[in-house]
Amino acid sequence: MPSIMHLLSKYARQPRRGSRGSRLMPFILLALLLSLSAATTLTAQTQSAPPQVWLTDLDGPVGPATSDHIQRVLERAAEADVALLVLRMNTPGGLDSSMRDIVSAILDSPVPVATWVAPAGARAASAGAYITAASHIAAMSPATNIGSSTPVSLADADTQTSATGQKAINDATAYLEGLQELRGRNTAWASQTVADAANLTAPDALAQDVIDLIANDLDELLQAASGLRVETTRGTLSVNVDNADITLIESDWRHDFLNVITNPNIAYILLMIGVYGLILEFYNPGLGLPGITGIICLLVGAYALQLLPISYAGLALMAVGIGLIVFEVISPSFGVFGLGGLAAFVIGSVMLMDTESAAWQISLPLIAAVTVATGGLIIMVLGAALKAWRQPTVTGDPAMLQMTAVAMEDFAHEGHVHVSGETWTAQTGTPVHKGDRLRIDQINGLTLHVSKQDPT
């Protein structure tokens, strides 16, 4: 830089003569000086920028909403070139499909992921153990535990000894062993936590090389993680989080919306509102609101169900049951279709969720409440049908024969009469005077055969 200043002053002292290039030289040197100064400033700012650390929470059962949130945070972290993503975890487990989606996203992440089981009293049970194993850095707080990785559907001892159960255990064990081996941790522990549901406290997990470190708080975690070398999709990286800026990434509206509708009870209620809204609209066409509400709830409920592990046999039974109930409402059969549909609906509701995890089951009291409400609807339909069956006919020929016609004119053979607000052609065998009240004896097409009523 001093040499450029020297040349600039030298050319400034020279007389202005010679070629145009000579006269422009001072301005060229000045432009070079300014460019060099800007580049130096930018480099200094870049070098002084602190690394970025993102912190997000996985709190509660692992499900579709959690999986979607973690995957989107990982994508944004990669775009922002974050130095480290800390996943603060406290989970009892969750759905296998959602857990595997999170694991795959971590394995494909160019950003190092540190899963930290925290705060004190938290756990990484079942699905949480697999996510921890997949992370580049596995950490725990004191007074936390990890393990119990047996698939929930195989918790029963008899089920574990069956051929299908043994296959599932072998698959889960191999999956966890592969993750532990990839991160250079204890692989023998995988068979213990899957087959025997073994659990470890934080000190035991560190002693058995199941995790990498114990940290009381986030600062201690970052201090211990700084300088560790991890393998990512970008190759081997050294974690640099000294004096890092920490950003808490909270859940957004999409996560909160998915978290609500993927609750099996909420999805079930939405489905029922949708079905009965459409039934009400079909039963009373033109209302509009029940139909619109029913369509919206049915679509949202169907979207939620396709994210959940459902049994298609249970869903088919529910559909058959609802179809029979609708048929009963439209064409009452005195309970045959209604009761059969109700039985199919209840069985299908119990079978709907294809998982043994209690967090993803439809509440039995909710099923009972919906069943009672549906049974009440069927009873109302049956009562209305029975009442209508007992009442005399009020339309058609039998009803006309019970009505009284009034002569609109004098006639001896054929004329016009007034019946229930309508004008009919009438024939009679005796003379009739205008205003006479006549008895309808017979109906022949659009012609009534009438006679004078007996005087009372």
Mind listing the pLDDT tens digit for each residue in 207-237? 999 999 999 999 999 999 999 999 999 999 9
Q: How far apart are CA 284 and CA 281, in angstroms?
A: 5
| Top mean-pLDDT range of 18-32, 118-132, 327-341 | 118-132
Architecture of domain 397-452: Beta Barrel (2.40)
Instruction: Of 60-69, 183-192, 278-287, 372-381, give the lowest mean pLDDT range.
Output: 278-287
Q: Determine how many CB atoms are found less than 10 A away from the CB of residue 91.
A: 23
Q: Are the CB atoms for 112 and 138 separated by under 8 Å?
A: no
Q: How many residues does the chain have?
A: 456
Q: What is the pLDDT of residues 410-434, one digit of tens each?
A: 998 899 998 877 888 999 988 888 8
Residue 8: pLDDT band with limits 50, 70, 90: very low
Q: How far is CA 89 from CA 110, 141, 360, in A?
A: 21, 10, 19
Q: pLDDT of 275-317, one tens digit each? A: 888 877 777 766 678 889 999 999 999 999 888 888 999 999 9
CA-to-CA dists, residue 438 to 123, 393, 418, 419, angstroms: 90, 21, 10, 10
Q: What is the pLDDT of residue 4?
A: 47
Retrieve residue 450's tokens: 């009438």
Q: Which residues contact 309 (CB under 8 A, 6 or more apart)?
A: 95, 97, 353, 354, 355, 360
Residue 91: predicted pLDDT: 95
Measured CA to CA, the distance from residue 403 to residue 397 in angstroms comes to 10
Mean pLDDT lowest among 49-53, 163-167, 209-213, 295-299: 163-167
Domain 52-254 in CATH 3.90.226.10? The answer is yes
Of 115-119, 166-170, 243-247, give the lowest mean pLDDT range. 166-170
The one-character DSSP state at 362 is P
Q: What are phi and psi of 230, to 5 degrees?
A: -130, 155
Determine phi and psi for 408, rounding to 5 degrees.
-95, -10
Q: Which residue has the tokens 């109700």?
A: 342
pLDDT of the residue at 71: 96
pLDDT bin (cut points 50, 70, 90) of residue 80 is very high
**Whole-number Cα distances in Å, 420 to 402, 434, 435, 452:** 11, 17, 15, 17
d(CA 320, CA 343): 10
Continuous segment of H or E residues that includes residue 232: strand 229-232
Tokens standing for 22? 């000579």
Alpha carbons 128 and 98: distance in angstroms, whole number: 11
| Strand, helix or coil for residue 424 | strand
Q: By percentage, how much of the chain surpasses pLDDT 90? A: 50
Q: Could you give the C-alpha distances from 43 to 2, 242, 293, in angstroms and in order? A: 19, 19, 59
Contacts of 430 (CB under 8 A, 6+ apart): 412, 451, 452
pLDDT given at position 155: 47
Residue 192 DSSP SS3: helix
pLDDT of the residue at 157: 45
Phi, psi for residue 123 in degrees, rounded to 5: -145, 155
Tokens of 118: 């925290």
DSSP 8-state code for residue 51: P
Average pLDDT, the chain: 83
